[in-house]
Amino acid sequence: MSFRYKVLRQEDATEATRQLELDVVTGLQSQPKHLSSTFFYDQQGSALYQQITELEEYYLTRCEFEILKTHGRTICERYFGHGRPVNLVELGAGDGRKTRVLLRELLDARVDFQYVPIDISESAMKELIVGLQNEFQDSRLQCFGLVGDYKDGLQWLSAQQHFRKNFVLFLGSSIGNFTRENAIHFLRGLSQILREGDELLLGADLLKDPKVMTAAYMDSRQVTSSFNLNLLSRINRELGADFDIRQWYHYAFYRSDIRAVESQLISKVAQRVHLGALTFSFGALATDCRIFWDAVL
């Protein structure tokens, strides 16, 4: 049993703040105004997201877990264990809760594999590894985490472990955090990095009753509202902006034209927000002054 990780790109707080400011300013100067979902996941945001995954209305995590539990053995038989060692690579593993189903199936099938979670956060990687160490006692389990962005990790694997097939997991309907154009760009980038014979298991939501889809992002306990509003709080904390959180509300709705649920933060009143020397104006409930997130595909 081996649990270790390698840092490919050191977290740089100064650079992270600079990138946050650049993206926020660019987004708020655009029409319509928009903010990237990339920045949801600070410490508070990650804790709120964990609560979201346990909500009754948020069916995605529950359904994906059941799919892996029901079909985990079939996945292992079809894509693993054909004589070639395998990297089970996970992009943005979180706590690894769902992936543990596959880990158990692979261990039971005696597949020659190692688990390779990739995450930009070293602290998140440490927490994941501690959780795995506490749960798994099987000496055959090999976990080799990579701290860096997805591109860093996959390029390193392709160069350093060319003898292993890469089976990449991108779960949690994370692809839905991208605009359609960015999703295409992301998948094309993956195809250019992965080698012939590598494979991708992608988790994505299916079209269903719009009421069911919308409820997943407009929960009765308003946890998703707190999650989205936390980004404004983060901009205040880290960039010194002066968003009055009480004057904003979260709204999500199904757009039939793009077959997606879109989340927005809407200003309740006409107001101005300051960030350094810049001032951003928002009209009360004005359609051109809402803040849009990247669409959920």
C-alpha span between 68 and 47 (Å, rounded): 24
For residue 24, the one-letter residue type is: V
Asked if pLDDT for residue 296 goes beyond 60, the answer is no
So what's the pLDDT on residue 174? Answer: 85
Out of 112-121, 215-224, 226-235, pick the least confident. 112-121
Q: Region 6-19: what's the mean pLDDT?
A: 87
The model's pLDDT over 159-188, given as tens digits with 9 standing for 90+, comes to: 887 788 999 999 988 888 787 888 898 999
Q: List the helix and strand counts (H, then E) for the chain.
A: 9, 11
Asked if pLDDT for residue 294 goes beyond 70, the answer is no
SS3 158: helix
Asked if pLDDT for residue 249 goes beyond 50, the answer is yes
The model's pLDDT over 58-83, given as tens digits with 9 standing for 90+, comes to: 999 999 999 999 999 999 999 986 77
The model's pLDDT over 153-164, given as tens digits with 9 standing for 90+, comes to: 999 998 887 788
State the alpha helices, DSSP H only, in 136-179. 150-160
CA 227 to chain centre: 14
What band does 293 get if pLDDT is binned at 50, 70 and 90? Answer: low
So what's the pLDDT on residue 120? Answer: 82
Question: 64 is written with which tokens?
Answer: 């994906």
Q: Region 112-140: what's the mean pLDDT?
A: 90
Asked if pLDDT for residue 297 goes beyond 50, the answer is no
What band does 288 get if pLDDT is binned at 50, 70 and 90? Answer: low
Asked if pLDDT for residue 259 goes beyond 90, the answer is no
Distances in Å between the Cα of 10 and the Cα atoms of 73, 92, 144, 197 are 37, 16, 17, 31
C-alpha span between 294 and 255 (Å, rounded): 13
So what's the pLDDT on residue 38? Answer: 81
- According to CATH, the topology of domain 1-208 is Rossmann fold (3.40.50)
So what's the pLDDT on residue 295? Answer: 36
Q: Region 41-64: what's the mean pLDDT?
A: 92
Question: 205 is written with which tokens?
Answer: 């939501």
Quick one: which H or E segment has residue 223? helix 223-239
Asked if pLDDT for residue 142 goes beyond 70, the answer is yes
Task: List the one residue out of 86, 110, 101 whose CA is nearest residue 136.
Answer: 101
Domain boundaries, the chain: 1-208
Q: Region 39-48: what's the mean pLDDT?
A: 89
Residues 6+ apart with CB under 8 A from 260: 176, 254, 295, 296, 297
